[in-house]
Chain A
Amino acid sequence: SQTIHQWPATLVQPVGSPLSLECTVEGTSNPNLYWYRQAAGRGLQLLFYSIGIDQISSEVPQNLSASRPQDRQFILSSKKLLLSDSGFYLCAWSLISRDTQYFGPGTRLTVL
Protein backbone atom coordinates (compact mmCIF):
# COMPACT_ATOMS: atom_id res chain seq x y z
CA SER A 1 0.00 0.00 0.00
CA GLN A 2 1.03 3.58 -0.51
CA THR A 3 2.25 5.77 2.33
CA ILE A 4 3.41 9.35 2.51
CA HIS A 5 5.90 10.68 5.03
CA GLN A 6 6.74 14.20 6.07
CA TRP A 7 9.33 15.47 8.47
CA PRO A 8 9.82 17.11 10.77
CA ALA A 9 6.40 17.16 12.44
CA THR A 10 7.05 20.52 14.11
CA LEU A 11 9.70 23.14 13.58
CA VAL A 12 10.54 26.45 15.22
CA GLN A 13 12.92 28.63 13.25
CA PRO A 14 14.19 32.21 13.60
CA VAL A 15 13.48 34.79 10.94
CA GLY A 16 16.16 34.74 8.27
CA SER A 17 17.12 31.11 8.77
CA PRO A 18 16.92 28.52 5.96
CA LEU A 19 14.25 25.87 5.67
CA SER A 20 14.08 22.37 4.28
CA LEU A 21 10.99 20.20 4.58
CA GLU A 22 10.99 16.75 3.09
CA CYS A 23 8.21 14.57 1.78
CA THR A 24 8.54 11.03 0.49
CA VAL A 25 5.99 8.65 -0.96
CA GLU A 26 6.24 4.88 -0.88
CA GLY A 27 4.40 2.21 -2.81
CA THR A 28 3.77 4.04 -6.06
CA SER A 29 5.70 5.31 -9.06
CA ASN A 30 5.65 8.68 -10.80
CA PRO A 31 3.09 10.26 -8.50
CA ASN A 32 1.89 13.82 -8.82
CA LEU A 33 3.19 15.65 -5.75
CA TYR A 34 1.88 18.76 -4.05
CA TRP A 35 2.94 21.21 -1.35
CA TYR A 36 0.22 23.13 0.50
CA ARG A 37 0.29 25.72 3.23
CA GLN A 38 -2.45 26.46 5.72
CA ALA A 39 -1.89 29.69 7.61
CA ALA A 40 -3.58 30.10 10.97
CA GLY A 41 -7.31 30.57 10.46
CA ARG A 42 -6.97 30.33 6.70
CA GLY A 43 -7.80 27.77 4.08
CA LEU A 44 -5.46 25.51 2.17
CA GLN A 45 -3.25 27.19 -0.38
CA LEU A 46 -1.52 25.21 -3.11
CA LEU A 47 2.15 26.26 -3.28
CA PHE A 48 3.74 23.87 -5.74
CA TYR A 49 2.86 20.80 -7.73
CA SER A 50 5.02 18.40 -9.68
CA ILE A 51 4.14 15.88 -12.35
CA GLY A 52 7.65 14.43 -12.57
CA ILE A 53 11.30 14.78 -11.67
CA ASP A 54 12.44 18.37 -12.16
CA GLN A 55 8.95 19.33 -13.40
CA ILE A 56 7.59 21.74 -10.83
CA SER A 57 4.98 24.45 -11.14
CA SER A 58 4.53 27.28 -8.70
CA GLU A 59 1.03 28.51 -7.97
CA VAL A 60 1.86 31.69 -6.12
CA PRO A 61 4.93 33.92 -5.92
CA GLN A 62 6.59 33.56 -2.57
CA ASN A 63 9.68 33.17 -0.49
CA LEU A 64 9.73 29.42 -1.01
CA SER A 65 11.02 26.99 -3.63
CA ALA A 66 10.48 23.31 -4.30
CA SER A 67 12.60 20.55 -5.77
CA ARG A 68 12.02 16.96 -6.77
CA PRO A 69 15.42 15.28 -6.92
CA GLN A 70 13.93 11.79 -7.05
CA ASP A 71 10.66 10.35 -8.31
CA ARG A 72 9.09 10.02 -4.86
CA GLN A 73 10.84 12.82 -3.00
CA PHE A 74 9.56 16.37 -2.81
CA ILE A 75 11.42 19.08 -0.90
CA LEU A 76 10.22 22.52 0.16
CA SER A 77 12.94 25.07 0.85
CA SER A 78 13.63 28.65 1.72
CA LYS A 79 16.90 30.55 1.92
CA LYS A 80 15.60 33.07 4.45
CA LEU A 81 12.39 32.55 6.38
CA LEU A 82 9.91 35.35 6.98
CA LEU A 83 7.41 35.64 9.82
CA SER A 84 4.66 35.19 7.25
CA ASP A 85 6.02 31.74 6.37
CA SER A 86 4.61 30.36 9.61
CA GLY A 87 1.88 27.81 9.04
CA PHE A 88 0.99 24.20 8.58
CA TYR A 89 2.66 22.63 5.55
CA LEU A 90 1.13 19.61 3.93
CA CYS A 91 2.49 17.35 1.24
CA ALA A 92 0.12 15.28 -0.87
CA TRP A 93 0.25 12.88 -3.78
CA SER A 94 -2.13 11.62 -6.43
CA LEU A 95 -1.91 9.04 -9.17
CA ILE A 96 -2.93 11.48 -11.88
CA SER A 97 -3.54 15.17 -12.03
CA ARG A 98 -6.83 16.29 -10.40
CA ASP A 99 -7.42 12.82 -8.96
CA THR A 100 -8.01 12.04 -5.29
CA GLN A 101 -5.11 13.37 -3.24
CA TYR A 102 -3.61 11.64 -0.24
CA PHE A 103 -2.12 13.89 2.40
CA GLY A 104 0.88 13.52 4.64
CA PRO A 105 0.73 14.27 8.38
CA GLY A 106 2.01 17.82 7.91
CA THR A 107 4.71 20.01 9.40
CA ARG A 108 3.81 22.83 11.75
CA LEU A 109 6.30 25.64 11.18
CA THR A 110 6.63 28.59 13.53
CA VAL A 111 8.92 31.42 12.51
CA LEU A 112 9.91 33.69 15.40
Chain B
Amino acid sequence: KNEVEQSPQNLTAQEGEFITINCSYSVGISALHWLQQHPGGGIVSLFMLSSGKKKHGRLIATINIQEKHSSLHITASHPRDSAVYICAVTGNQFYFGTGTSLTVIP
Protein backbone atom coordinates (compact mmCIF):
# COMPACT_ATOMS: atom_id res chain seq x y z
CA LYS B 1 0.00 0.00 0.00
CA ASN B 2 1.33 3.43 -0.94
CA GLU B 3 1.70 6.03 1.77
CA VAL B 4 0.05 8.58 -0.53
CA GLU B 5 -2.96 7.72 -2.65
CA GLN B 6 -4.49 10.00 -5.24
CA SER B 7 -7.81 9.80 -7.01
CA PRO B 8 -8.77 9.76 -9.72
CA GLN B 9 -5.77 8.54 -11.71
CA ASN B 10 -7.13 10.06 -14.90
CA LEU B 11 -9.66 12.83 -15.35
CA THR B 12 -11.15 14.38 -18.46
CA ALA B 13 -13.24 17.53 -18.15
CA GLN B 14 -14.92 20.03 -20.40
CA GLU B 15 -13.60 23.57 -20.34
CA GLY B 16 -15.27 25.56 -17.58
CA GLU B 17 -15.97 22.60 -15.30
CA PHE B 18 -15.11 22.55 -11.60
CA ILE B 19 -12.45 19.91 -10.91
CA THR B 20 -11.50 18.13 -7.71
CA ILE B 21 -8.47 15.92 -7.19
CA ASN B 22 -8.15 14.01 -3.94
CA CYS B 23 -5.14 12.91 -1.91
CA SER B 24 -5.11 10.64 1.13
CA TYR B 25 -2.06 9.77 3.17
CA SER B 26 -1.31 7.32 5.91
CA VAL B 27 1.78 8.76 7.61
CA GLY B 28 2.39 11.63 9.98
CA ILE B 29 3.33 14.74 8.08
CA SER B 30 4.70 18.21 8.61
CA ALA B 31 3.44 19.50 5.27
CA LEU B 32 1.60 18.50 2.13
CA HIS B 33 2.53 19.70 -1.35
CA TRP B 34 0.64 19.91 -4.60
CA LEU B 35 2.80 19.85 -7.71
CA GLN B 36 1.91 20.35 -11.36
CA GLN B 37 3.83 18.52 -14.07
CA HIS B 38 3.36 19.81 -17.59
CA PRO B 39 3.45 17.53 -20.66
CA GLY B 40 7.08 18.49 -21.31
CA GLY B 41 8.03 17.21 -17.87
CA GLY B 42 8.68 20.42 -15.98
CA ILE B 43 7.34 20.51 -12.43
CA VAL B 44 5.97 23.52 -10.62
CA SER B 45 5.12 23.65 -6.96
CA LEU B 46 1.54 24.91 -6.56
CA PHE B 47 0.94 24.79 -2.83
CA MET B 48 2.54 23.80 0.41
CA LEU B 49 0.12 23.58 3.29
CA SER B 50 -0.03 22.13 6.77
CA SER B 51 -3.56 23.20 7.75
CA GLY B 52 -6.69 24.84 6.42
CA LYS B 53 -6.95 26.19 2.93
CA LYS B 54 -4.92 28.13 0.38
CA LYS B 55 -6.05 29.85 -2.81
CA HIS B 56 -4.06 31.02 -5.80
CA GLY B 57 -6.04 32.28 -8.75
CA ARG B 58 -8.41 29.51 -9.85
CA LEU B 59 -6.67 26.91 -7.70
CA ILE B 60 -7.72 26.05 -4.17
CA ALA B 61 -6.05 23.50 -1.90
CA THR B 62 -7.50 22.23 1.35
CA ILE B 63 -6.22 19.85 3.97
CA ASN B 64 -7.89 18.02 6.83
CA ILE B 65 -5.18 16.84 9.20
CA GLN B 66 -7.49 14.70 11.31
CA GLU B 67 -8.79 12.81 8.27
CA LYS B 68 -5.38 12.80 6.55
CA HIS B 69 -6.91 14.08 3.37
CA SER B 70 -6.31 16.95 0.97
CA SER B 71 -8.12 18.18 -2.10
CA LEU B 72 -7.04 20.33 -5.01
CA HIS B 73 -9.83 22.23 -6.73
CA ILE B 74 -9.69 24.00 -10.06
CA THR B 75 -12.50 26.41 -10.82
CA ALA B 76 -13.47 27.35 -14.39
CA SER B 77 -11.04 24.82 -15.85
CA HIS B 78 -9.15 25.67 -19.01
CA PRO B 79 -7.23 23.53 -21.52
CA ARG B 80 -3.98 25.01 -20.23
CA ASP B 81 -4.73 23.31 -16.89
CA SER B 82 -4.09 19.98 -18.61
CA ALA B 83 -1.22 18.41 -16.71
CA VAL B 84 -0.37 15.77 -14.14
CA TYR B 85 -1.07 16.88 -10.58
CA ILE B 86 1.04 15.25 -7.90
CA CYS B 87 0.40 15.15 -4.18
CA ALA B 88 3.44 14.81 -1.93
CA VAL B 89 3.87 14.78 1.83
CA THR B 90 6.88 15.43 4.00
CA GLY B 91 7.28 13.78 7.34
CA ASN B 92 10.23 11.67 8.31
CA GLN B 93 10.63 11.04 4.60
CA PHE B 94 9.25 12.32 1.35
CA TYR B 95 6.31 10.43 -0.09
CA PHE B 96 4.76 11.04 -3.48
CA GLY B 97 1.48 10.05 -5.02
CA THR B 98 1.54 8.65 -8.55
CA GLY B 99 -0.30 11.66 -9.89
CA THR B 100 -3.62 12.52 -11.50
CA SER B 101 -3.55 13.12 -15.23
CA LEU B 102 -5.99 15.90 -16.10
CA THR B 103 -7.14 16.69 -19.63
CA VAL B 104 -9.39 19.67 -20.17
CA ILE B 105 -11.18 19.63 -23.52
CA PRO B 106 -12.11 22.93 -25.20
Footprint of B on A, CB under 8 Å? 38, 42-46, 59, 88, 90, 92, 98-103, 105-106, 108
Contact = CB atoms under 8 A, between A and B. Distances in A.
Contacts, number: 42
Given A42-B98, A46-B94, A98 B45 contact: no
Given A98-B90, A99-B48, A105 B96 contact: no
A88 B99 CA distance: 15
25 contacts: A38-B41, A43-B86, A43-B97, A43-B99, A44-B88, A44-B96, A46-B94, A46-B96, A88-B41, A90-B41, A92-B43, A98-B30, A98-B90, A100-B33, A100-B45, A100-B48, A101-B33, A103-B35, A103-B42, A103-B43, A103-B45, A105-B42, A106-B42, A106-B43, A108-B41
Nearest to B43: A103
Contacts of B86: 43-44
Contacts of B98: 42-43
A40 to B, nearest CB: 11
A106 B39 CA distance: 12
Contacts of A59: 93-94
A88 B86 CA distance: 15
B27 interface: no
B59 interface: no
Nearest to A102: B45
Nearest to A92: B43
Contacts of A99: 31, 48
B44 interface: yes
